[in-house]
A and B are shown apart, each in its own frame.
Chain A
């Protein structure tokens, strides 16, 4: 297993920790039935089984957030963290291109981004 895959596995374990903790809380408060929790557990494992990279991990997070209802909100901070990391990475790239006066590349990047959105 390479380092990146290792990190993905660690992230998946972290997500499982957070979702399980949220389910326990919900069960204790009566907001979740046992039968429902078991089905959610299966959904989580099914979705995470498809994840092998950061991109797939990032892609799966909004699905977990919405499809698991109250329990899914456990992944919101992680999703926001990833979003923030991407934004920062992009901003750093733009700043770097601008400061290096690589205007043509900068324009190409911005135009591509705008076409994508």
Chain B
């Protein structure tokens, strides 16, 4: 017996073990009806055969006619490439390097002023020009998505009659993007979209197939953003970490807390919130963020996310209705601004808790300032983190050596040369990654010391939870305020030692500034945590523990003294910096040595041993240093005074040697030798 025809075998493999869908139900109904009406089998077969006129089936007939180089909305690949090029080159020509948002919000202080500024941008001539001149085209995002991800899975496969079967459909859509997403990213997408689909079905009571179709589109939007995000080094992740682990998870936790506190957020409102989470940063993909020197202009992304929603108004309105669509747009447009006057119980004309939703979203978005939800994937690589430290360390050295304003050009040149030097190492690391093309492009066009500055501070702690709690207000009533729980990591102390408390706490400052907490209050907390870990006195520890919270009219921040376990994996990557942070202690110790102080001498020797890497411990200088200490320990007071001066010089030289070794400085490099 011969084998099945290859054509049929292919069809059968594709459909093996797939659930019976609506197309099958409808065909069976049609067949039965014809038979009941007396049609012969031949007639039934002929009717079926007529519908199979196209070998790909009726749903695909349009695709067959479509130019294979044409994507959604009629854009060709060439047009999309030209658009990207035009955005990259012309954006700053039209709006300036500051971008629309930074310019319009220049004098805005209050929430109302920020809101007005956003609304003014949406109605502005400048934005109109950008779109009309084809510099930015948010309507092309769907075509770009198709270009990046390929076509959506076959429509027949989305036809399901049971929501439980959705995961298989989503898994199949994601399996087409193997090269674009890691397994972890896929799992994050599947989980979030699964939760979304369930809530959407509960809220809108639509057939499983409608849910599945929407869920596949959302999955694609997420996959696309995750893939595109890897081409950008804006200092933050805008892929699954920020969108899903950050905004989606944190925000949903806050919504649950609002419900527990008596704010009746409905399933429909949760759907609006989830959609806002999925689409709020899609504006990053229009190409502004990918353009060279575009950091400031990338702040315009909420405008383009909103324009994307507008470009697909009919689609979203069909899915969620006009009121929910209006709510979604408002959240997305205002997602960077929190209203401190939020009244959580208030509803708008459509009966939606718009104020509460806006606040939850802005908080969830703004609180994502630490590495677990913010740090770009490339910068979380253990081999990349030390490279970033080198750059930041180098920048600090340059600033020390060339502090005045008239040395700015010299300073910038030195930094630029060093960053270029490190870039080569980063590119070598990127080349070993599956996403090497995206990473290399981002390193070449977007990487600079500002990116590094924005990134390293993210490792200083983690957001533990965000919720609401009741507080008395000034009128003797109660009100709901956000309660934020955070943990500070080992790395914070290291960063504080080398780059200062201010820098080490910048991730927290960003998260807290909107909630009325001053930088000084945050620095005090940092010092208290340091004290806590330095002391062994249980009473003092208990006292400090009690004091680790800041309560304002607007929010309550609580800090935990325990180091966050999920940050432990990064500690090893900061080991060199931790070593270098001993520098000040070394200098203090050598200064405090008295002529008869044997203890401090031994202490200096131990600390120098901990400070130096193994390769430098065999250096001639270290051998001399150890010999000098031994000599002092056996000599009389007069000679010790002389030796102490030598010892100081040797400590300075060893510090310099260690720092140069860390920075990878050698004689061939034209700059750094002079710096340290």
Interface residues of A (CB under 8 A from B): 13, 16-17, 19-20, 24, 27-30, 32-45, 62, 65-70
Compute the total of residue contacts between A and B using a CB distance below 8 Å: 100
Complexed CA–CA distance, A36 and B15 (Å): 8
Q: 10 A-B Cβ contacts within 8 A?
A: A16-B42, A27-B27, A34-B24, A35-B11, A35-B58, A37-B48, A38-B57, A39-B52, A41-B44, A41-B52
Structural contact, B28 and A28, CB atoms closer than 8 A: yes
Task: Give residues of chain B (41-75) contacting chain A, Cβ–Cβ below 8 Å.
Answer: 41-42, 44-46, 48-49, 51-52, 55, 57-59
- CB pair B45–A27 under 8 Å, yes or no, is no
Choose one: B12, B45, B51; the contact of A36 (CB below 8 Å). B12
Q: Is the CB of A38 within 8 A of B1?
A: no
Contacts of A17 in B (CB 8 A): 41
Contact across chains for A24 and B28 when beta carbons are under 8 A apart: yes
Interface residues of B in 1-54 (CB under 8 A from A): 1-5, 8-9, 11-12, 15, 17-21, 23-24, 26-28, 31, 40-42, 44-46, 48-49, 51-52
Please state if A16 and B41 are interface contacts (CB–CB under 8 Å).
yes
Q: Are B156 and A39 in contact (CB under 8 A)?
A: no
Least Cβ distance of A96 to chain B in Å? 33
Which residue of the partner chain B has the closest CB to A20? B41
Determine whether the beta carbon of B3 is less than 8 Å from that of A66: yes
Nearest CB in chain A: distance from B450 CB, A: 54
Q: Are A13 and B41 in contact (CB under 8 A)?
A: yes
A69 is contacted by which of B12, B18, B59 (Cβ under 8 Å)?
Answer: B12
A3 to chain B, nearest CB (A): 20
A20-B45, A62-B1 given. 15 additional CB < 8 A pairs?
A13-B40, A13-B41, A20-B41, A30-B20, A35-B23, A35-B52, A39-B57, A41-B44, A41-B45, A42-B48, A42-B49, A43-B8, A45-B45, A66-B2, A69-B9
Contacting residue for A39 out of B9, B24, B27, B55, CB 8 A: B55
Let me know if A38 and B51 touch, CB within 8 A: yes
In Å, the complex CA distance between A39 and B2 comes to: 20
With a cutoff of 8 Å between Cβ atoms, the chain A residues found around residue B11 in the complex are: 33, 35-36, 39
Write out the residue numbers on chain B whose beta carbons fall within 8 Å of the beta carbon of A27: 20, 24, 27-28
List of A residues within 8 angstroms of B18 by Cβ: 30, 33
How many whole Å from A10's CB to the nearest CB in chain B?
12
Q: 6 nearest interchain CB pairs?
A: A38-B52, A41-B48, A35-B57, A42-B49, A34-B23, A16-B41
Residue picked from B9, B12, B58, most chain A C-beta under 10 Å: B12
Q: Which of A30, A38, A68, A69 contacts B19 (CB 8 A)?
A: A30
Residue with the greatest number of chain B CB neighbours at <10 A, chosen from A27, A28, A34: A34
Chain B contact residues (Cβ within 8 angstroms of A): what range? 35 or more
* A68 to B31 Cα, complex, angstroms: 19
Contacts of A69 in B (CB 8 A): 4, 8-9, 12
Chain B residues packing against A (C-beta within 8 Å): 1-5, 8-9, 11-12, 15, 17-21, 23-24, 26-28, 31, 40-42, 44-46, 48-49, 51-52, 55, 57-59, 156
Say what secondary structure dominates the interface of chain B.
helix
Partner of A66, one of B1, B21, B44: B1
**Contact for B46 among A19, A30, A45, CB less than 8 A:** A45
What residues on A are CB-neighbors of B31 within 8 Å?
Answer: 20, 24
| A29 to B3 CA separation, bound complex (whole angstroms) | 24
User: Are A34 and B27 in contact (CB-based, < 8 A)?
Assistant: yes
B44 touches A20 (CB 8 A): yes
Closest A residue to B26 by beta carbon equals: A34
Interchain nearest-CB distance for B297 vs A (Å): 47
CA distance A37 to B57 in the complex (A): 10
Interface centre among B2, B5, B41 (most CB of A within 10 A): B41
**Once bound together, how far apart are the Cα atoms of A44 and B46, in whole Å?**
10
Report chain B residues within 8 Å CB of A28. Answer: 20, 28
Contact B8 A42 (CB under 8 A): no
Q: A36-B11, A66-B2 are in contact. Are A13 and B42 (CB under 8 A)?
A: yes
Minimum distance in angstroms from A98 CB to a CB of chain B: 33
Query: Known: A27-B24, A65-B1, A69-B8. Is A32-B15 also a contact (CB below 8 A)?
Result: yes
Question: Quick one: which of A13, A32, A33, A68 has the most chain B CB within 10 A?
Answer: A33
A68 to B5, CA, bound (A): 8
Residues of B within 8 A of A66 (CB): 1-4
The closest CB in chain B to the CB of A30 belongs to B20
Residues of chain B within 8 A (CB-CB) of A41 are: 44-46, 48-49, 52
Assembled-state Cα–Cα distance A67/B6 (Å): 9
Quote the shortest CB–CB distance from A71 to chain B (angstroms): 9
**Are A34's CB and B156's CB within 8 A?**
yes
* Distance, CA A104 to CA B390, complexed state (A): 104
**Is A67 in contact with B41, judged by CB distance below 8 angstroms?**
no
What's the least CB distance linking A28 to chain B, in Å? 6
Taking CB atoms, residues of chain B closer than 8 Å to A35 are: 11, 23, 52, 57-59, 156
Q: A65 to chain B: which residues have CB within 8 Å?
A: 1
A50 to chain B, nearest CB (A): 15
How far does the alpha carbon of A66 sit from the alpha carbon of B9 in the complex, in Å? 11
Contact A33 to B42, CB < 8 A, known contacts A38-B52, A38-B57, A66-B3: no
Among A17, A39, A62: residue with most chain B CB under 10 A = A39
Q: How far is the CB of B17 from chain A (nearest CB, A)?
A: 8
